Structure 1
Amino acid sequence: MTPEEAVAEQERLRPLVRTATDPGLVVRHVAGLDVSYADDDRLAGAVVVLDADTLETVDSAVVPGRAEFPYLPGLFAFRELPPLLRALERLTVTPDLLVCDGQGLAHPRRFGLACHLGVEVDLPSIGVAKTPMGRFDPPAEVRGSSTDLVQDGEVVGRALRTRDGVKPVFVSVGHRIDLDRACAEVLRLCVTRLPETTRRADALGRAQLR
């Protein structure tokens, strides 16, 4: 796929994104997804499924591979989707929610990795990023404080303080969930700054590459 074809694919799929929470959504199992990279073109797509109440790991899968698409701004998903989709296929526990290490609606075309992945597998999904794509005012220092993340005058996510006094993370909707619920789900996954889903998927991917 060329970069031009990738942009066209984003434009084709973007109208499928749903930004309302599924009626009656109960999150019992939540999956964290992350791709780790080696110094060459090797990568590993990792998925770790946690019990949402106890944060116990109940399933995981990791898929090694090589980058099949160049790193281009706004097209990051096309590098990470192939190994992540393969890893999801290997799970024995179906997650109720996907938490991606990346953006959702906080994207130039409002279709980041969390949106793309959620639409592809038709599951509720959230993007949780360490760096913002947009403007925001710093939230208060208390855990749970948040402020709007804004692009081109549109609210595309939130800067969310997950621990007292630590840097915020940046939450945006992926698919089949609203922003309030997304932030609430992220907060209950955070023992440290980042969700446990992200931390464990990152560790699994890095271990695969060592």
Structure 2
Amino acid sequence: MKINFPNRWPTDAQSAIALQNQLRSQIVTVDRFDSVSTVAGVDVGFEQDGAVTRAAVVVLSFPQLAPLEYQLARRPTDFPYIPGLLSFREIPAVLAALAQLKTEPDLILCDGQGTAHPRRLGIACHLGLILQRPTIGVAKSRLVGQHSDLPEEKGAWVPLLDQGETIGAVLRSRSATKPLYVSAGHQISLETALRYVLQCTPKYRLPETTRLADRLASRRRAMPAIAAATEPVLEQKSLF
């Protein structure tokens, strides 16, 4: 997959927040894509007490959700852990993993926030802008916003609100389980994002995309036998 890597990458919180405020106006929250035949999930874990970022991407067919390809990448962690700025910590390794893909995904689901973010620029938005590709934020916990009570049945959702603005949705992806926090990333509307997340979640709480990517990123379980390259050698310099 061809990646246009950013020329500059912030290394401190002040410059990262300034970039988020600059980029937020570029986010498109209407559908800007046609048919979807492949979906991808991206997730990130850390090794060596956080010194190394381990990113995983898994591509599935859609709507069958059959695994087609996965890739892994490790990179030195160059940005500190700061809530609301996780994209600056995680995206360099995510881009390195995506760059190895032979199968280009039509839609990417991120384990993290999209517009459900204090500055409306979570990792799904940021990644979508870099790739100029539709992305969805699918987070396991809430970063910002309030919502009303959520019914227990699968498919139920309520708006996630912040200062009177709908920034995402709280979705029950499986009956009687903790909800997911879904928000648009880039080039997709919230309503369409919810539809694709549900279509990618036939059995478990998490969509198959991010569930499988989480396996790789966290080293909890092996992947099925699908095409994959060997893990790249860790490079000692940043991509940016």
- TM-score, scaled to structure 2: 0.83
Structure with max Cα Rg? 2
Q: Which sits farther off after the overlay, 39-48 or 100-109?
A: 39-48
Any idea what the Cα deviations from partners look like across 1:57-81, whole Å, max 9, x if unmatched?
A: 1111100122110011211100011
- How many angstroms apart in 1 are the aligned matches of 2:153 and 2:190? 19
Matched, 1:146 2:186: no
Instruction: Give, in angstroms, the shift of residue 10 of structure 1.
Output: 1.1
Query: Counterpart of 1:198?
Result: 210
How many residue pairs match? The answer is 209
Q: Which amino acid aligns with 2:38?
A: H
Query: Counterpart of 1:43?
Result: 53
- How many angstroms apart in 1 are the aligned matches of 2:85 and 2:216? 24
- How many angstroms apart in 2 are the aligned matches of 1:138 and 1:70? 35
- How many angstroms apart in 2 are the aligned matches of 1:29 and 1:87? 17
Q: How does 1:1-210 map to 2 (within 5 A)?
A: 1-22=11-32, 25-38=34-47, 40=49, 41-132=51-142, 133-190=144-201, 191-207=203-219
Instruction: Give, in angstroms, the shift of residue 39 of structure 1.
Output: 5.2
> Are 1:103 and 1:129, in contact at CA under 8 Å, matched by a contact in 2?
yes
**Helix, strand or coil at the partner of 2:90:** helix
Percent identity of paired positions between Structure 1 and Structure 2: 43
> Are 1:104 and 1:172, in contact at CA under 8 Å, matched by a contact in 2?
yes
Any idea what the Cα deviations from partners look like across 1:127-170, whole Å, max 9, x if unmatched?
A: 00011121112321111110011112211000001111111101
Instruction: Give, in angstroms, the shift of residue 5 of structure 1.
Output: 1.1
**Helix, strand or coil at the partner of 2:219:** helix
Q: Are the structure 2 counterparts of residues 75 and 147 from structure 1 closer, same or farther at C-alpha, using a change threshold of 3 Å?
A: same
Q: Which amino acid aligns with 1:175?
A: H
- Which consecutive unaligned segments of at least 5 residues does structure 2 have? 1-10, 223-240
**Helix, strand or coil at the partner of 1:172:** strand
> Are 2:53 and 2:90, in contact at CA under 8 Å, matched by a contact in 1?
no
Q: Which sits farther off after the overlay, 84-93 or 35-44?
A: 35-44
Poorly superposed stretches of 4+, deviation over 2 Å: none
- TM-score, scaled to structure 1: 0.95
